[in-house]
Amino acid sequence: MPLVTFLPDNRSVEVANGTTILEAARRAGVLIEAPCNGAGHCGKCIVRLASDDLARIIVHMDAPDDATGEGAVLACHSEVYGDVTVEVPRQAEQGLRVISAGTGIKVTPEPFITRRFDPAAHQTAILAGEKLLAIERGDTVAGNHGLVVDIGTTTLVAALVDLDSGRELASASSLNPQSLHAQDVLSRIRFAAAADGLALLQQDLIAELNRLAGDVAHQAGIEPERIYEAVFSGNTCMLHLAAGVDPSPLGRIPFTPTITGGNHLDAAEIGLKIAPRGLVYLPPVISAYVGADISAGILAAGLAGLSGVTLFIDIGTNGELALAVDGSLTASATAAGPAFEGMNISCGMRAAVGAVERVDIAGTGELDMAVIGGGKPAGICGSGLMDLVAELVEQGGIARNGRFAAASAVAPLLAARMEGEGSKAAFRLGDQVSLTQKDVRQVQLAKGAIRAGIELLLRAEGREPKDLDRVLIAGSFGYHLRERSLITLGLLPPEAAGKVTFLGNTARSGGEMLLVNARLRAELQELVGRVRVVDLAGNPAFERTFMEAMGF
């Protein structure tokens, strides 16, 4: 059997002939970023082999044209037929930018976890409702802490909260390590269909959550073992993966979730290192693709109490939508894909140091870019991508159908950045960073899916875009966007102008409300039970509306 050795980790594994380098790496415990889960779409799993070793592999798909260095191949499409040594490039993203704060309603602290001191026994009882969880020596009433975690598809946010005052004591964020194996929800469902895939995704996630819990506890000067309850806010798939439950039913008709939320898990059983008898509360989910993050967001935004017509959108790889008409709620979801996260984009990257995050183009064609951390651009993240395409549309550099215009049709300063023609056309931002025709098409597909969802959700309630009173944009990614860009791209209808509010991370702020006030849990459960779910996948009008929505 061939022996595959990975550098710089210097780990080796024996595999059968025909095993891909990516599969071998996973067996060896070596991390190779492959957000499309080996489909060959993202071009991120580039590794390098010496020329002699190249003769002992069969390559079924070439590495992207911009892959630098000799011996570069895609790990997912390179099969091993002899002993090889594989160099795995380090692709550390520094300064990943994550929005942890979000709009929320201040609530009176009435936590599920309470502490009662017994002077006679000189000990403190820890109660979950009226159930005794544990006994601590001494008077520890003042140390009542809880943890709220937003488990996003791409990022994680954890916050430590004083349950008696409702005050946030510390917060921390990071990349969801699952995104290195599979970027979007559908890819993650497929990855987890195998038992070892599910185990890997849960193991990676819980390990990172334990690190974040330790981080916020350290910031506050306490031990994680003093935390007796955590609230996990996330989409339906993320809750399944956190609990170690097979999410496969979410990927096939009738799309029935195994986890519906509104219940507790034993923290120790899923490996979460808080108190030995700690609990994890899962907020109620609305459907297979409208999860607890949206339930929490509806709570944080006070959506059910708003008069008029309100559109609530969480923009990400899975675009989740809710429409409130005088308190009556309808919800849906649409698969936007990973373009908004900078994935499947030729020079795409997450919102980390070196990423172009904002673009402005003057009428003269002069370009003004904001790069995270300053310096030269290393890539472009989702918000920068949206801005750039919108600005080029406004300046005539991109036509309504998404094609690049001829250089002769735009201002000279813009024309100087335009290269190639037809499918090879590109717009250069820097020496190593360009926007390609394929990238523009990815933006069209992503924004078209969300706009089609908006149109059909409005129609389901007998409404039109002109009836909108307000549009609320939730999520870490959404917080970095600009109303003008969203409307220019056509992701939002023109009638939304002047009505858009960016709420930030409502999955976290709503989860915090549930952590601090346990009475809200029953109220949210009842509210979720009244939400009407619109199935876009089964709507015959979706494809036509989607095609119409792809235009700028």
In DSSP terms, 333 is beta-bridged to 320
- In whole angstroms, give the CA distance from residue 180 to residue 78: 18
What is the pairing mode between strands 355-361 and 379-380? Answer: parallel
> Domain 3-87 falls in which CATH fold?
Ubiquitin-like (UB roll) (3.10.20)
DSSP 8-state class, residue 10? T
DSSP-based helix, strand, coil % in the chain, nearest 5 = 35, 25, 40
- Give one word for 102, left, alpha or beta, with left for phi > 0 and alpha for psi -120 to 50: beta
Cβ–Cβ < 8 Å for 430, 376: yes
DSSP 8-state class, residue 486? H
Radius of gyration of the chain (CA): 24
Residue 531 half-sphere exposure, CB side, CA atoms within 13 Å?
30
Two tokens, residue 216: 């916020």
Angle between helices 542-549 and 437-460 (to 10 degrees): 130
Nearest to 150 by CA among 238, 275, 246, 257: 238
Cβ–Cβ < 8 Å for 247, 241: yes
| Own/partner pairs, 406-411, CB within 8 angstroms, 24+ separation | 410/365, 411/363, 411/364, 411/365
- Determine how many CB atoms are found less than 10 A away from the CB of residue 170: 17
* Three-state SS at 332: strand
Q: What's this model's pTM, rounded to 2 decimal places?
A: 0.83
* Three-state SS at 484: helix
Q: Which residues contact 344 (CB under 8 A, 6 or more apart)?
A: 36, 41, 42, 183, 337, 338, 442
Amino acid symbol at 166: G
Q: Which CATH number fits domain 302-338+450-549: 3.30.1300.10, 3.30.420.40, 3.40.50.300, 2.30.110.10?
A: 3.30.420.40
Helical (H) or strand (E) element with 199: helix 195-220
In DSSP terms, 423 is beta-bridged to none
- In whole angstroms, give the CA distance from residue 516 to residue 113: 9
Which CATH code is given to the segment(s) 113-293?
3.30.420.480
Q: Is 302-338+450-549 the same fold as 113-293?
A: yes
Domain boundaries, the chain: 3-87, 113-293, 302-338+450-549, 340-442
* Whether residue 494 has a cis bond before it, omega within 30° of 0: no
Which residue has tokens 């998404």?
A: 402
**What is the residue-level pLDDT of the chain in tens, covering all 552 positions?**
999 998 887 888 898 999 999 888 877 777 787 766 677 767 778 888 888 888 899 988 888 765 656 788 998 899 999 999 998 876 545 555 555 577 788 899 999 999 999 999 999 999 999 999 999 999 999 989 999 999 998 889 999 999 999 999 999 988 899 988 887 888 899 999 987 999 999 999 999 999 999 999 999 999 999 999 999 999 999 999 999 999 999 999 889 999 999 999 999 999 999 999 999 999 999 999 999 999 999 999 999 999 999 999 998 778 899 999 999 999 999 987 777 777 778 888 877 888 898 999 988 888 899 998 888 888 898 889 999 999 999 999 999 999 999 888 888 998 899 998 888 899 999 888 999 999 999 999 999 999 999 999 999 999 999 999 999 999 877 667 889 999 999 999 999 999 999 998 999 999 999 999 999 999 999 999 999 999 887 788 989 999 999 999
Cβ–Cβ < 8 Å for 379, 344: no
Over the stretch 495-531, which tens digit does the pLDDT of each residue have? 999 999 999 899 999 999 999 999 999 999 999 999 9
What is the pairing mode between strands 78-80 and 57-59? Answer: antiparallel
Amino acid symbol at 414: L
